[in-house]
């Protein structure tokens, strides 16, 4: 996985990461707060041995410091009753009570640190300060050499332990830092697993994982679009038409950068909504007062003419074969600025035709005669036609069906574009499920046209379109109701 994809997954699934982080940090905080605090205090001491003079042995006596080995022996017997019982007695603890104590012995300096620990800071300090003297008292019993010469052992304090102000455990900072690290690791891991298991493109964030190109519009799933695909005419103030107009606006920004006023719309796989989106986009651009030509560049499965209810037997291929002039095969759409160039007869060699010189010349004429050229095209994964058409236009727009397009197919389409050095102008996420809040926004309080808007709404088309007539009927019904 590349860094860009990893960052994309994190951006897409930041909620998962944040939830894991919060959960683990919350749990850590709860455990930390409920843990009984433990205090530790440390005293540094050394033990001396005072030997009396022994004339018989010729020993003049004296004081010496107890060495590492003897101190080690004392550490070994620290928890024996011989040490613990007098220690408890000194501390005023009942018999059998637990005493938290440990010894750290320095090998070179013959000193040792006595560390006392307890939930009571004063007891921790008392343990640290009392253990040394108690060990000195019992030391003699554990050293045969010392016991023979009957010496006295004394504990000399170097540093006394004081009652600590802060507990040693729980360590709030360390625990929270650890919790954050574990929460982050868990969240990132979970995000990766979810990303790997989710094979479909669902949200805008999934598109951002796949590519850094912008999402130009999110088009809602509009059940009525199946029967009335021309939403710009049939439901001009509905959510679908609204999102198409947003696409129009955003495309104009792309257009400024290319200056070519032409786009081809494609998708990875069939049925993602290319034709419906292209037709409505063309209508929306025409509504804004531009002269638009909509070209059906899908010479394998043409559907523009069928969707508009116009003649589809003559069109692009007819003009390319020279059987009719371009002007003869272009069909105006009502009294708008929209004209349509249907596919014409289905040729046996669509790719060759679309990549041909005559096609480039025909396109140049269209670009000269119209303000905008929009081309509907076949899907990218099965055929390369869209790439050939893209070379003529100013940009390629990828329509992606939310909840339907497989990430694998989208990646294949994008890779095939990348291999020919084409970057999409942007994405259109189609079939977006509108959630409750959106339907509230779009539905209940949908945009109501002002009088001026109503006047600028295009008049019902005069084109011989079955859909157009249906749309007009619907508009008439709405007007009547």
- Coil, strand or helix at 196: helix
> Residue 398 CB, nearest distance to ligand ATP (Å)?
11
Q: Is 280 in the site for Mg ion (CB under 5 A)?
A: no
**To the nearest whole angstrom, how small is the minimum distance from the Cβ of residue 293 to ligand ATP?**
18
Shorter beta-carbon distance to Mg ion: residue 70 or 296: 296
**Could you tell me the smallest distance in angstroms from the CB atom of residue 227 to ligand ATP?**
8
Cβ nearer to ligand ATP, comparing 221 with 422: 221
Contact between 393 and Mg ion by CB under 5 A: the answer reads no
13/274 with CB nearer ligand ATP: 274
CB-wise, 231 or 262, nearer to ligand ATP? 231
Q: Least distance in Å: CB of 284 to Mg ion?
A: 18
In angstroms, give the least distance from the CB of 221 to ligand ATP: 4
What's the closest the beta carbon of residue 242 comes to ligand ATP, in angstroms?
12
CB closer to ligand ATP, 41 vs 398: 398
In angstroms, the Cα distances linking 340 to 242, 301, 326, 452 are 22, 16, 11, 28
Contact indicator for 274, 265 with CB cutoff of 8 Å = yes
Instruction: State yes or no: residue 275 binds Mg ion (CB under 5 A).
Output: yes
Decide: is 129 part of the binding site for Mg ion (CB under 5 A): no
Both tokens assigned to 210:
């796949």
By CB under 5 A, the residues from 189 to 248 that bind Mg ion are: none
Residue 273 binding result from ligand ATP, Mg ion, none, given CB thresholds of 5 to 8 Å by partner type: ligand ATP
Q: Using CB distances below 5 to 8 A depending on partner kind, what does residue 242 bind out of ligand ATP, Mg ion, none?
A: none
Cα 281 from Cα 108, distance rounded (Å): 86
In the complex, the residues that contact ligand ATP under the rule CB under 6 A are 219, 221-222, 225-226, 229, 240, 267, 270-276, 298, 301, 303, 379, 430-431
Alpha-carbon distance of 407 to 437, in angstroms, equals 27
User: 151 vs 468, which CB is nearer to ligand ATP?
Assistant: 468
CA distance 461 to 459: 6
Of 290 and 430, the one with the shorter C-beta distance to ligand ATP is 430
Residue 316 CA to its chain's centroid (Å): 44
- 8 Å CB contact between 318 and 329: yes
Asked if residue 394 lies in contact with residue 422, where contact means CB atoms within 8 angstroms, the answer is no
Round to whole Å and give the CA distance between 281 and 338: 11
Closest by CA to 233, choosing from 452, 38, 476, is: 476
303 binds Mg ion (CB under 5 A): yes
- β-strands 112-118, 100-105 pairing: antiparallel
Q: Which is nearer to ligand ATP, 345 or 371 (CB)?
A: 345
Q: What is the DSSP string of 357-375?
A: HHHHHHHHHHHHH-SEEEE
- Name every residue whose Cβ is closer than 8 Å to that of residue 408 and which is 6 or more positions away in sequence: 199
**Partners of 432 in beta bridges:** 220
Stretches 57-65, 156-164, 300-308, 319-327: which one binds Mg ion (CB under 5 A)?
Answer: 300-308
Contact of residue 430 among ligand ATP, Mg ion, none (CB under 5-8 Å per partner type): ligand ATP
The residues pairing with 215 across neighbouring beta strands, listed in sequence order, are: 427
């Amino acid at each position: 996985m590349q860094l860009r994809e990893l960052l994309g997954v994190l951006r897409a699934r930041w909620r998962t990461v944040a939830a894991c982080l919060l959960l683990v940090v919350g749990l850590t905080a709860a455990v930390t707060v409920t843990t009984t605090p433990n205090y530790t205090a440390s005293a540094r001491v050394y033990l001396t041995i005072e030997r009396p003079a022994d004339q018989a042995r010729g020993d003049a006596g004296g004081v010496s410091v107890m060495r590492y080995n003897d101190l080690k022996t004392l550490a070994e017997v620290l928890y024996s009753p011989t040490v613990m019982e007098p220690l408890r007695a000194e501390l005023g603890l009942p018999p059998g009570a637990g005493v938290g104590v440990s010894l750290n012995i320095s090998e070179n300096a013959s000193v040792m640190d006595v560390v006392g620990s307890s939930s009571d800071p004063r007891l921790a300090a008392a343990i640290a300060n009392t253990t040394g003297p108690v060990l000195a008292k019992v030391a003699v019993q554990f050293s045969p050499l010392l016991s023979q010469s009957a010496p006295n052992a004394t504990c000399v304090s170097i540093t006394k332990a004081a009652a600590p102000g802060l507990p040693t455990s729980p360590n709030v900072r360390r625990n929270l830092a650890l919790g954050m690290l574990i929460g982050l690791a868990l969240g990132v891991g979970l995000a990766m697993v979810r990303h790997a298991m989710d094979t479909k493109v669902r949200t805008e964030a999934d598109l951002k994982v796949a590519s850094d190109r912008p999402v130009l519009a999110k088009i809602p799933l509009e059940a009525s679009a199946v029967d009335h695909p021309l939403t710009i005419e049939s439901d001009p103030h509905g959510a679908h038409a609204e999102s198409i107009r947003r696409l129009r606006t955003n495309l104009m920004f792309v257009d400024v950068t290319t200056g070519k006023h032409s786009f081809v719309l494609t998708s990875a796989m069939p049925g993602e909504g290319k034709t419906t989106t292209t037709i409505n986009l063309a209508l929306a651009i025409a509504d804004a007062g531009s002269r638009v030509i909509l070209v059906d560049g899908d010479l394998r499965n043409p559907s523009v003419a069928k969707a508009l209810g116009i003649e589809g037997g003559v069109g692009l291929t007819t003009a390319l074969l020279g059987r009719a002039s371009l002007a003869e095969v272009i069909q105006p759409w009502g009294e708008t600025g929209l004209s349509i160039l249907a596919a014409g007869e289905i040729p046996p060699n669509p790719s060759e035709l679309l990549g041909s010189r005559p096609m480039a010349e025909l396109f140049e004429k269209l670009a000269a005669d119209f303000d905008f050229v929009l081309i509907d095209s076949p899907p990218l994964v099965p055929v390369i036609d869209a790439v050939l058409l893209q070379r003529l236009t100013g940009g390629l727009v990828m329509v992606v069906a939310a909840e339907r397009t497989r990430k694998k197919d989208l990646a294949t389409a994008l890779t095939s574009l990348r291999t020919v050095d084409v970057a999409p102008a942007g994405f259109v996420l189609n079939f977006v499920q509108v959630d409750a809040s959106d339907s509230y926004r779009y539905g209940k309080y949908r945009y109501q046209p002002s009088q001026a808007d109503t006047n600028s709404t295009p008049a019902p088309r005069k084109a011989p379109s079955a859909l157009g007539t249906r749309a007009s009927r619907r508009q008439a019904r709405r007007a009547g109701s």
